[in-house]
Amino acid sequence: MKRLLLRTRAHLRDAAKPVTDAAIGGLTIGLLRTTRYFDPEKTARFFGRAAHFIGRRLREDRIGRENLKAAFPEKSPEEIEEILTGVWHNLGRIGAEFAHIDRIWDHDPQNPDKPGRVEFSARSKQLFDQLRDDGKPALFFAAHLGNWELSPIAAAAHGLDATILFRRPNIEAADRAIERIRAVNLGTLVPAGRDAPLKLAQALKNGQHVAMLVDQYLTNGVPVTFFGRKTTANPLLARLRRQIDCPIHGTRIIRLPDGRFRGEVTEEVKPVFDASGQIDIQGTMQAITDVVEGWVREYPDQWLWLHRRWR
């Protein structure tokens, strides 16, 4: 009888999935469309408060708290809660800003002193221009920090030919809605999958730039140390560097007060070589992870602590 009940429940769940997915997809489309009618900054503040209110009642809140305690054992419970509050507010703001993603990047390279939402340091601009104009391929990595969705916008808006690895949402209808927004003013998007490494390697061979997020936990990844604890990282970027001789740079979009952002490009992150002269995959990913850890230590409330980060 128990087995029959389990099978029946599974069949009902499978039968209801298309209806549930369609409903969530429709809600996503409606929410994105509606949000575009309102002021981006006011909406972002509202979404931030809403995400904090709802998020504190989800299991991800507990996961984030445990992650923060593990990463910052020296911080008081009050400091941990303050960071976690910022994490939820940042996540909510990203949701609101995503609806305006094709409008929010207002930096004018022809008038860099013109007031706007985005600023660059002189060195970051110099590095960006150099990488854009040298006619050579390059690898860029980013993390779930600040508003990570703006990095591709920055590349496209300033003429950087980029191929970007991304992960599709699990719900098809929501995926289509998000794709319509992501398709505006972006480079070439490559969904994560079996053929993604081949497509990214070909883009590098064609002299293009390849970008990806590198801070997700990957069960079958290479071992690295993050905040003093062992974890695993996706080795794809290092493997691409082993195939194609090109520089590696980090990029981040930091959230500033009053709905503003600062874009940064790091100096070249040198790969690690093994005794045979080949790229050391684990060593190179550790070097990249060290950069990400430095970013997170600087802005802990702007990083996504809400998922599994360690073994």
260-265 and 248-256 as β-strands: parallel, antiparallel, unpaired?
antiparallel
Domain boundaries, the chain: 108-296
Q: What are phi and psi of 250, to 5 degrees?
A: -95, 155
Q: Report the alpha-carbon distance of residue 193 to residue 172 in Å, rounded.
A: 16
Q: Report the alpha-carbon distance of residue 51 to residue 63 in Å, rounded.
A: 16
Q: pLDDT of 54-73, one tens digit each?
A: 999 999 999 999 999 999 99
Under the banding of pLDDT at 50, 70 and 90, the label for residue 1 is very low
Q: Which two tokens stand for residue 204?
A: 């590098």
Which percentage of the chain shows pLDDT scores above 90?
56
Which percentage of the chain shows pLDDT scores above 70?
79
E strands within 204-273?
A: 209-213, 222-226, 229-233, 248-256, 260-265
- Tell me which residue of 202, 71, 60 sits closest to 137, measured CA to CA: 202
Q: Report the alpha-carbon distance of residue 216 to residue 127 in Å, rounded.
A: 26
Q: pLDDT of 186-229, one tens digit each?
A: 678 888 889 999 999 999 999 999 999 999 899 899 999 999 99
- Tell me which residue of 227, 226, 299 sits closest to 73, measured CA to CA: 227
